[in-house]
Amino acid sequence: MRIRALRCIVAAGIIAMTIANNCFGYDDEGFQYWSVVGFSHKLNKDWRVDFEQDFRLGDDGGNLYYEHSDLGFVYSGLADWIDLGFNYRLIYEKDKNDDRQPENRPHLNVTFKGKLLGWDVSDCSRLEYRDRENLEDVWRYRNKIAVYFPIELTDLKLQPYIADEAFISLNPDDFTKNWFYTGFTFKLTKNIKADIYHMWQAKKTPSEWEDVYVLGTKLIFIF
């Protein structure tokens, strides 16, 4: 049963990406590897603090072009089905001249979570302000919907999921990017949560849409 379910998940991901490529005709912009390491600490029954460090390697995984540090405080005291997050992110990303450009990015997150027909579902809305060094400052809205399959695979208890995140720039109002994920979450130990995923990124440029395929890993230490 588990092997059959895994085959269905992989097939669904391949079909979805194939349909998207055929519909939009994006040019292939290569492969990337993204790595996140972070921690999460419960301050009290309502508040926790999260921190993550993200590194992204482009040019088929051979060039570190992006990194960020993100610190946030999450409040869950309103109800079991909603979290409020208040975060600050410091980013360094290489431009076309290979120079590292800083960006300050405070962001507010509202996450709804619950179950739908036995499946875990979450919907995160993010409003972020992009304070950039050599570019115009912009506001951007992001929405990420994730669905977790109600099964666990192998002795590691891998829980498969699919997710989609849309990016909308608010000045001007424009759909600029989309991320589609297929992956697995699991616990390495009681205090280490892991996430391994494949992500397809479609990004709008002035002349066309570009796509990138990403292998991503995430390790979160919980204490």
What is residue 17's three-state secondary structure? helix
Q: Which of the four CATH numbers 2.60.120.260, 2.40.160.40, 3.20.20.70, 2.60.40.10 does domain 2-222 have?
A: 2.40.160.40
Helix, strand, coil % in the chain, rounded to nearest 5: 10, 70, 20
Which helix H or strand E contains 16, and what residues bound it?
helix 2-24
Looking at residue 12, what is its pLDDT?
43
Confidence of residue 60 (pLDDT cuts 50, 70, 90): confident
The arithmetic mean of pLDDT across residues 19-45, rounded, is 72
> With 80 as the cut, is the pLDDT of residue 117 above it?
yes
Quick check: 194 pLDDT over 80?
yes
Q: What is the predicted pLDDT for the residue at 132?
A: 93
Please list the residues that pair with 94 across neighbouring strands: 100
Token pair listed for 137: 């400052």
Output the average pLDDT for the chain: 88
Given a contact cutoff of 8 angstroms between Cβ atoms, the answer to whether 152 and 123 are in contact is no
With 0-12 / 13-18 / 19 or more C-beta atoms within 10 angstroms meaning exposed / middle / buried, residue 161 is buried
Residue 186 CA to residue 151 CA, distance in Å, equals 12
Q: How much is the pTM?
A: 0.84
* DSSP three-state, residue 135: coil
Residue 32: predicted pLDDT: 95
pLDDT for 157-180, tens place per residue? Answer: 999 999 999 999 998 778 889 999
**Residue ranges per structural domain of the chain:** 2-222
- Which tops the pLDDT comparison, 12 or 95? 95
CA distances from 152 to 143, 148, 180, 197 (A): 26, 10, 22, 16
Confidence band, pLDDT 50/70/90 cuts, at residue 28: very low
Q: What's the rounded Cα separation, in Å, for the pair 90 and 92? A: 7
d(CA 104, CA 90) in angstroms, rounded, equals 5
Indicate if the pLDDT at residue 19 is higher than 80: no
- At 21 the pLDDT is 41
